[in-house]
Structure 1
């Protein structure tokens, strides 16, 4: 009976290897990234450039939380896969354990004895010598995968505390960044905004084109000249926010409406930054676009970002590349929602949208000619 079981088990039991590249390692690396972001937050307030330091910290938190969500998703999927396989092969595993227990409890001389005499005993010994390494290999594989299930479940339990710290840290980073931007006094200003002219322009404007064409009229005491030409960066500018492309220029939405700009899907409260040094030409609510930031990287070129919830800066200021210009709307997902999404194999929802329009000499151009948008987006 033992001999038949040995043959069956050596042929039949083989659990699949991990499909994802070590989900446990991904989750642990994400947790370390959040720990690093927390240490950076403690140092940011004492940095010489608080706005820059806090912006980098906030991005670190966003990267860490995204990595944690993805790691948790893979951990959950892998744990479910292993649990399903182990449950489906419960009978075979029990049989393997029974055979191994029988072998360990039987003295070696008795184990190889055969009722057919010396010839049968010799054959039995050779069979046992052949199958024992295979049995040991199957037992080691089973032990490894049971250990993996235990590790994955422990990571899922620890993820709650890690996510709590990460979400608390990212909220602190946003609050401190908003205060640091408000306290900033070292940025040059190319002009001051005339609030009366701005109000008249907004009231008389029905389109984004009309508003953009009148921007120069709202500036008082504007310094002559322009920021350096950035034509050499055309096509390689980073997108202003972590996002995926929802619709490209000219693509129709569900209602058939097309726009000359790019629509990005972002996570709630994501940080939006200027992709290059630029002058703030306008910031605030406009038409039906929500809060809008209009930047002028150089004369005749406008970057328009619409759909923000919070905007930073003062009209006329000159911002260095990478400076924060605002936050997207929405609310951070609750921990329960993040865990539920991971359990369903889903990532974090990108529920907010940012509209990007680029105008050269007041004519719209495809933003994909300026930004790196990714081939798969």
Structure 2
């Protein structure tokens, strides 16, 4: 009876372990397919009528694919450890199971049904064997599936290095081509030209972002007219300018007690930053302690301040379409070995860079949640 109880416990434990089998491998395979699709997009970017738009989509496709692949590898490592831990924890029970199977396999079938207590015991023995045997086969199948899944997960992680390397190289090439294409761009509408002397004087004479934003109207050298973008209808539904996670919200203090009237967004190194809406570039360049800054005007008397960029695209006075690239995050893209090490440890990696986003209406900063769909 004790052996039967052990067998039942082993059989019951296998049910939860089998759930979700294969999902992690499928997710990682899908991510690899997305990277391959991004590679095709990069090859075809030169053929499109709007090369910058095509390259922007290509960079974003690479970023999505790399994020998905890293997540798939992380989940694969976690799943593998969960299976191995469960098998280790039940090693004695698995040994009992194997012992029973070996005994049943060696003994002739009639002997398995004989019982020293006579016909009644023999009948009971037969009932127990008929009850346990199908369950044993189910558990054997589950163990086999678990071991096969572990093997598949190990093979997936072993083969991921080449996929990662191609993805990282492709993303780097796409970013370089995008930067080059933007530097050669001449097709954007121009609402005004900037007076560089007035801009330099404004930067030198202001100590706060609020004061600088208030003086932006004075740096215009020549007003070229044109229709100003108006994203008011999109208020409350804009997407964040970078793929990342909001670390701190409006007026939320950081660990040092510093409060800023904007969002702090964690992003991966070299992530592409895009314009959340069609907007006029009011300023771009280093500013105060914010690093590289680009200030966009998506609607009359509304400014979006995006700070913390390593590279900034666009020129003051240009009108950018929604989704246009406005810069790249800084930092160093982790190598293949670093990514695989992080994934094997089961940790999400990578969001080491921070982007600051502030929204100003008139002379005041407002909660970005009134313009952006943060949830």
Q: Is the TM-score greater than 0.5?
A: yes
> TM-score, normalized by length of structure 2?
0.94
Structure 1 Cα separation of the partners of residues 249 and 2 of structure 2: 64
Structure 1 Cα separation of the partners of residues 219 and 325 of structure 2: 23
Structure 1 Cα separation of the partners of residues 292 and 337 of structure 2: 30
Aligned residue in 2 for 1:135: 136
1:252-263 paired onto structure 2 within 5 Å: 252-263=253-264
Q: 1:309-361 deviations in whole A, cap 9, x for unaligned?
A: 00011211111100000001101112222222223321013111111111112
Per-residue deviation, 1:4: 6.1
Structure 1 Cα separation of the partners of residues 238 and 322 of structure 2: 10
- The DSSP-based 3-state class of the residue aligned with 2:88 is helix
1:236-315 paired onto structure 2 within 5 Å: 236-315=237-316
1:101-250 paired onto structure 2 within 5 Å: 101-224=102-225, 226-250=227-251
Would you say the 8 A contact 2:307–2:356 is kept in 1?
yes
- The DSSP-based 3-state class of the residue aligned with 2:47 is coil
Aligned residue in 1 for 2:98: 97
* Count of residue correspondences: 372
Moved more, 342-351 or 242-251: 342-351
Moved more, 353-362 or 49-58: 353-362
- The DSSP-based 3-state class of the residue aligned with 2:270 is coil
Structure 2 Cα separation of the partners of residues 60 and 168 of structure 1: 13
Structure 2 Cα separation of the partners of residues 301 and 226 of structure 1: 15
Moved more, 11-20 or 209-218: 11-20
Per-residue deviation, 1:228: 4.0
Moved more, 107-116 or 36-45: 107-116
> TM-score, normalized by length of structure 1?
0.93
Aligned residue in 1 for 2:361: 360
Unaligned runs of 5+ in 1: none
- The DSSP-based 3-state class of the residue aligned with 2:133 is helix
Moved more, 114-123 or 269-278: 114-123
Moved over 4 A (4+): 18-21
Structure 2 Cα separation of the partners of residues 173 and 157 of structure 1: 26
Per-residue deviation, 1:85: 1.3
Aligned residue in 1 for 2:334: 333
Superposed CA RMSD in Å reads 1.8
Would you say the 8 A contact 2:193–2:224 is kept in 1?
no
Q: 1:265-321 deviations in whole A, cap 9, x for unaligned?
A: 111111100011111111111111110001111221111101100001121111110
Structure 1 Cα separation of the partners of residues 334 and 44 of structure 2: 27
Q: 1:13-34 deviations in whole A, cap 9, x for unaligned?
A: 5234267682222212111111
Structure 2 Cα separation of the partners of residues 321 and 103 of structure 1: 71
Moved more, 109-118 or 198-207: 109-118
Structure 1 Cα separation of the partners of residues 256 and 288 of structure 2: 19
- Cα pair distance change 1:19/1:109, threshold 3 Å: closer
Unaligned runs of 5+ in 2: none
Aligned residue in 1 for 2:39: 38
Structure 2 Cα separation of the partners of residues 314 and 87 of structure 1: 61
Aligned residue in 2 for 1:23: 24
Would you say the 8 A contact 2:292–2:311 is kept in 1?
yes
- Cα pair distance change 1:261/1:11, threshold 3 Å: closer
Aligned residue in 2 for 1:324: 325
Structure 1 Cα separation of the partners of residues 87 and 70 of structure 2: 26
